[in-house]
Amino acid sequence: MREIVFDTETTGIDPKQGHRMVEIGCVELIDRMPTGKTFHAYYNPERDMPAEAEAIHGLSTQFLADKPFFRDEVDAFLEFVGDDMLVAHNAGFDFTFINSELDLCAREAICLSRKIDTLEMARRKNPGGKHSLDALCSRYGVDRSHRVFHGALLDAELLAQVYIELTGGRQIAMGLVPESANEGDTAAQQHAVPLMPSSDRPVRPARLHSASEAELARHATFLEQIARPIWNR
Protein backbone atom coordinates (compact mmCIF):
# COMPACT_ATOMS: atom_id res chain seq x y z
CA MET A 1 0.00 0.00 0.00
CA ARG A 2 1.52 3.31 -1.11
CA GLU A 3 0.61 6.60 0.54
CA ILE A 4 2.00 10.11 0.17
CA VAL A 5 2.33 12.34 3.22
CA PHE A 6 2.62 15.96 2.15
CA ASP A 7 2.59 19.57 3.27
CA THR A 8 2.39 22.91 1.51
CA GLU A 9 3.48 26.47 2.22
CA THR A 10 1.56 29.37 0.75
CA THR A 11 1.35 33.16 0.57
CA GLY A 12 -1.86 33.17 2.61
CA ILE A 13 -4.91 31.21 3.64
CA ASP A 14 -7.31 31.55 0.70
CA PRO A 15 -6.55 31.04 -3.00
CA LYS A 16 -9.78 32.90 -3.84
CA GLN A 17 -8.04 36.02 -2.54
CA GLY A 18 -5.16 35.51 -4.94
CA HIS A 19 -2.90 33.52 -2.65
CA ARG A 20 -0.64 30.89 -4.15
CA MET A 21 1.29 27.79 -3.18
CA VAL A 22 5.05 28.41 -2.92
CA GLU A 23 6.41 25.10 -1.60
CA ILE A 24 5.39 21.46 -1.42
CA GLY A 25 7.07 18.52 0.26
CA CYS A 26 6.04 14.87 -0.10
CA VAL A 27 7.17 11.69 1.66
CA GLU A 28 6.45 8.23 0.28
CA LEU A 29 5.19 5.49 2.60
CA ILE A 30 4.87 1.84 1.66
CA ASP A 31 2.80 -0.15 4.15
CA ARG A 32 3.06 2.82 6.55
CA MET A 33 6.88 2.82 6.46
CA PRO A 34 9.01 5.61 4.89
CA THR A 35 10.90 4.39 1.82
CA GLY A 36 13.29 7.35 1.67
CA LYS A 37 11.71 8.69 -1.52
CA THR A 38 10.62 12.32 -1.34
CA PHE A 39 9.46 15.14 -3.58
CA HIS A 40 10.28 18.75 -2.78
CA ALA A 41 9.86 21.92 -4.80
CA TYR A 42 9.64 25.70 -4.46
CA TYR A 43 7.46 27.72 -6.83
CA ASN A 44 7.39 31.34 -7.93
CA PRO A 45 3.94 32.58 -6.83
CA GLU A 46 3.93 35.46 -9.34
CA ARG A 47 3.06 37.85 -6.55
CA ASP A 48 4.58 39.36 -3.41
CA MET A 49 5.00 37.47 -0.13
CA PRO A 50 3.04 39.03 2.76
CA ALA A 51 5.17 39.67 5.86
CA GLU A 52 2.90 37.57 8.08
CA ALA A 53 3.30 34.54 5.80
CA GLU A 54 7.08 34.98 5.52
CA ALA A 55 7.29 35.06 9.32
CA ILE A 56 5.85 31.54 9.38
CA HIS A 57 7.87 29.78 6.68
CA GLY A 58 10.76 32.18 6.03
CA LEU A 59 10.27 32.25 2.24
CA SER A 60 10.74 35.74 0.84
CA THR A 61 9.73 37.27 -2.47
CA GLN A 62 13.41 37.58 -3.34
CA PHE A 63 14.12 33.90 -2.57
CA LEU A 64 11.22 32.72 -4.74
CA ALA A 65 11.89 35.10 -7.64
CA ASP A 66 14.06 32.64 -9.60
CA LYS A 67 12.03 29.53 -8.79
CA PRO A 68 9.96 27.81 -11.51
CA PHE A 69 6.25 28.34 -11.95
CA PHE A 70 4.01 25.49 -10.80
CA ARG A 71 2.53 25.17 -14.29
CA ASP A 72 5.99 24.34 -15.66
CA GLU A 73 6.67 21.65 -13.04
CA VAL A 74 3.20 20.19 -12.55
CA ASP A 75 3.99 16.92 -14.36
CA ALA A 76 6.82 16.09 -11.95
CA PHE A 77 4.47 16.53 -8.99
CA LEU A 78 1.64 14.50 -10.52
CA GLU A 79 4.02 11.71 -11.50
CA PHE A 80 5.31 11.43 -7.94
CA VAL A 81 1.91 11.32 -6.21
CA GLY A 82 0.36 9.03 -8.83
CA ASP A 83 -3.11 7.78 -7.90
CA ASP A 84 -2.31 7.02 -4.28
CA MET A 85 -3.87 8.32 -1.09
CA LEU A 86 -2.63 11.73 0.10
CA VAL A 87 -2.09 12.39 3.81
CA ALA A 88 -1.96 15.92 5.23
CA HIS A 89 -2.64 17.77 8.46
CA ASN A 90 -5.76 19.89 8.01
CA ALA A 91 -5.84 18.35 4.55
CA GLY A 92 -8.72 20.48 3.30
CA PHE A 93 -6.41 23.51 3.29
CA ASP A 94 -3.67 21.77 1.31
CA PHE A 95 -6.09 20.16 -1.15
CA THR A 96 -7.70 23.55 -1.79
CA PHE A 97 -4.38 25.11 -2.75
CA ILE A 98 -3.18 22.19 -4.86
CA ASN A 99 -6.46 22.00 -6.76
CA SER A 100 -6.41 25.76 -7.24
CA GLU A 101 -2.95 25.50 -8.78
CA LEU A 102 -4.08 22.60 -10.98
CA ASP A 103 -7.07 24.63 -12.12
CA LEU A 104 -4.82 27.56 -13.08
CA CYS A 105 -2.88 25.28 -15.42
CA ALA A 106 -6.02 23.56 -16.77
CA ARG A 107 -5.38 20.24 -15.06
CA GLU A 108 -7.91 17.93 -13.45
CA ALA A 109 -8.43 18.42 -9.72
CA ILE A 110 -7.32 15.72 -7.27
CA CYS A 111 -10.40 13.91 -5.98
CA LEU A 112 -11.16 14.48 -2.31
CA SER A 113 -11.74 10.75 -1.90
CA ARG A 114 -7.95 10.44 -1.87
CA LYS A 115 -7.68 12.71 1.18
CA ILE A 116 -6.56 11.45 4.59
CA ASP A 117 -6.67 14.18 7.24
CA THR A 118 -4.47 13.57 10.29
CA LEU A 119 -6.12 16.50 12.07
CA GLU A 120 -9.48 14.71 11.93
CA MET A 121 -7.81 11.46 13.00
CA ALA A 122 -6.16 13.16 15.99
CA ARG A 123 -9.43 14.78 17.06
CA ARG A 124 -11.20 11.42 17.03
CA LYS A 125 -8.40 9.66 18.87
CA ASN A 126 -7.74 12.39 21.45
CA PRO A 127 -10.87 14.54 21.81
CA GLY A 128 -10.32 17.67 23.81
CA GLY A 129 -6.54 17.66 23.43
CA LYS A 130 -4.25 19.86 21.36
CA HIS A 131 -3.98 18.73 17.75
CA SER A 132 -1.38 20.96 16.11
CA LEU A 133 1.56 19.20 14.48
CA ASP A 134 3.81 20.44 17.28
CA ALA A 135 1.44 19.09 19.93
CA LEU A 136 1.19 15.70 18.20
CA CYS A 137 4.97 15.48 17.87
CA SER A 138 5.22 16.04 21.62
CA ARG A 139 2.51 13.46 22.35
CA TYR A 140 4.14 10.76 20.25
CA GLY A 141 7.77 11.56 21.03
CA VAL A 142 8.68 12.79 17.53
CA ASP A 143 11.82 14.95 17.62
CA ARG A 144 11.19 18.39 16.12
CA SER A 145 14.14 20.21 17.73
CA HIS A 146 15.56 21.08 14.29
CA ARG A 147 12.35 22.82 13.21
CA VAL A 148 12.82 26.60 13.26
CA PHE A 149 10.48 27.65 10.43
CA HIS A 150 7.59 25.76 8.91
CA GLY A 151 9.04 23.95 5.89
CA ALA A 152 6.97 21.73 3.61
CA LEU A 153 9.35 18.78 3.39
CA LEU A 154 10.38 18.90 7.05
CA ASP A 155 6.76 19.13 8.17
CA ALA A 156 5.84 16.24 5.86
CA GLU A 157 8.61 14.12 7.39
CA LEU A 158 7.41 14.93 10.91
CA LEU A 159 3.80 14.28 9.92
CA ALA A 160 4.75 10.92 8.42
CA GLN A 161 6.03 9.81 11.84
CA VAL A 162 2.91 11.16 13.55
CA TYR A 163 0.66 9.42 11.00
CA ILE A 164 2.38 6.10 11.66
CA GLU A 165 1.68 6.52 15.38
CA LEU A 166 -1.92 7.58 14.79
CA THR A 167 -2.51 4.42 12.76
CA GLY A 168 -1.07 2.02 15.32
CA GLY A 169 2.68 2.53 15.38
CA ARG A 170 5.50 0.95 13.43
CA GLN A 171 4.62 -2.61 14.39
CA ILE A 172 1.74 -2.62 11.90
CA ALA A 173 4.26 -2.96 9.07
CA MET A 174 6.64 -5.32 10.84
CA GLY A 175 8.53 -7.67 8.59
CA LEU A 176 11.75 -9.67 8.44
CA VAL A 177 14.88 -8.44 6.70
CA PRO A 178 16.36 -11.06 4.33
CA GLU A 179 19.29 -13.01 5.79
CA SER A 180 21.48 -11.81 2.93
CA ALA A 181 21.12 -8.20 4.05
CA ASN A 182 23.88 -6.76 6.16
CA GLU A 183 23.83 -3.71 8.41
CA GLY A 184 24.99 -1.42 5.62
CA ASP A 185 22.36 -2.59 3.16
CA THR A 186 19.84 0.20 3.68
CA ALA A 187 17.78 -0.73 0.65
CA ALA A 188 17.18 -4.21 2.04
CA GLN A 189 16.29 -2.76 5.43
CA GLN A 190 13.81 -0.34 3.90
CA HIS A 191 12.04 -3.10 1.98
CA ALA A 192 11.52 -5.73 4.65
CA VAL A 193 10.12 -9.08 3.66
CA PRO A 194 6.60 -9.43 5.08
CA LEU A 195 5.79 -12.30 7.36
CA MET A 196 4.40 -15.34 5.59
CA PRO A 197 0.58 -15.51 5.79
CA SER A 198 -0.56 -18.00 8.40
CA SER A 199 -2.36 -20.11 5.80
CA ASP A 200 0.97 -20.73 4.02
CA ARG A 201 3.03 -21.63 7.07
CA PRO A 202 3.94 -25.31 7.65
CA VAL A 203 1.64 -27.00 10.13
CA ARG A 204 3.44 -28.54 13.09
CA PRO A 205 1.73 -31.19 15.24
CA ALA A 206 0.83 -30.17 18.78
CA ARG A 207 3.34 -31.12 21.46
CA LEU A 208 2.26 -32.77 24.72
CA HIS A 209 2.91 -30.68 27.83
CA SER A 210 1.41 -32.98 30.50
CA ALA A 211 3.25 -33.25 33.82
CA SER A 212 5.12 -36.48 34.49
CA GLU A 213 4.27 -38.81 37.41
CA ALA A 214 7.31 -37.54 39.31
CA GLU A 215 6.30 -33.90 38.78
CA LEU A 216 2.76 -34.61 39.96
CA ALA A 217 4.13 -36.29 43.13
CA ARG A 218 6.39 -33.33 43.92
CA HIS A 219 3.47 -30.94 43.38
CA ALA A 220 1.26 -32.94 45.80
CA THR A 221 4.02 -32.87 48.41
CA PHE A 222 4.34 -29.11 48.02
CA LEU A 223 0.59 -28.59 48.49
CA GLU A 224 0.61 -30.65 51.68
CA GLN A 225 3.16 -28.25 53.17
CA ILE A 226 0.90 -25.23 52.81
CA ALA A 227 -0.75 -24.25 56.08
CA ARG A 228 -4.47 -23.42 55.94
CA PRO A 229 -4.85 -23.50 52.15
CA ILE A 230 -7.72 -21.37 50.91
CA TRP A 231 -9.15 -24.24 48.85
CA ASN A 232 -9.95 -26.11 52.12
CA ARG A 233 -12.04 -23.29 53.60
C-alpha distance from residue 105 to each of 17, 39, 69, 109, 115 (Å): 18, 20, 10, 11, 21
Task: Report pLDDT digits (tens) over 105-137.
Answer: 999 999 999 999 999 999 999 888 899 988 999
The structural domains of the chain, ordered by start, are 2-174 (3.30.420.10)
Query: Of these residues, 19, 40, 150, 219, which one is catalytic?
Result: 150
Task: Report pLDDT digits (tens) over 163-186.
Answer: 999 998 765 444 444 444 444 444
Verify whether residue 150 is a known catalytic residue. yes
Give the pLDDT of residue 221.
87
